[in-house]
Homo-oligomer: A and B are copies of this chain.
Amino acid sequence: MKIPHKAKKVFKGVIFDVYQWEQEMFDGSKATFEMLKRPNTVQVIATQEDKILLSHESQPTKKDFIGLFGGRQEPDENELDGVKREFLEETGMESDNWDLINIYEPIYKIEWNVYIFAARDCKKIQEPKLESGEEIEIMKVDFDEFIDLVIGEKFWGREFAEDVLRMKLEPKKLREFKKKIFQ
């Protein structure tokens, strides 16, 4: 959900800002409502021929995990610029064939979207430039392995995993998805 225009920012954090407003209830009474805002997440299903690239990542405060490449959108860029920047930083790669695949809103009380893009024919043009908190290994898997990893224990990204679980229950959708990402 979008934070209402009348809401006031009552706290500015490192990641999360807090907003509050007066909300009229069904019975006419009023209550203070609260929502958060955080930077959007931008991620990419990156392909090379018939393979997909995944990130196997370690961070200081959590167990190692598998995920799509990507990160946080910066205030001064749009989603596509953000995902291109993160992908280049993490892998040293670029692509000239991008499409938006899906947008998720993970939590109702947080204004926060997750954008998933596809990027085809990814090519390495420089060395990765990792942040001090990141250690990333690039995995290269075929489509069936990709699907199994996404619905597996170590995958990071519940909304996308839920989508893939739904596709597994409707094989037609899974085939359409495969077509879409490899195009």
Contacts and interface: CB of A to CB of B under 8 A. Distances in A.
Interface string A64-84: 000000000000000000000
17 contacts: A1-B61, A10-B11, A13-B20, A13-B34, A14-B34, A25-B60, A25-B133, A26-B60, A31-B133, A151-B166, A158-B158, A158-B159, A161-B162, A162-B165, A165-B166, A165-B169, A168-B169
A29 interface: yes
Contact of A33 (B14, B26, B31): B14
B14 A32 contact: yes
Nearest to A109: B15
Interface of A: 1, 10-11, 13-16, 18, 20, 23-27, 29, 31-34, 36, 60-62, 106-109, 132-135, 151, 158-159, 161-162, 165-166, 168-169
Copies of this protein, total = 2
Given A31-B133, A106-B107, 19 more contacts: A1-B62, A10-B13, A11-B11, A13-B34, A14-B34, A16-B16, A18-B18, A25-B60, A25-B132, A25-B133, A26-B133, A27-B132, A29-B132, A33-B61, A36-B36, A62-B108, A161-B162, A165-B165, A165-B166
Contacts of A15: 34, 109
Contacts of A10: 11, 13
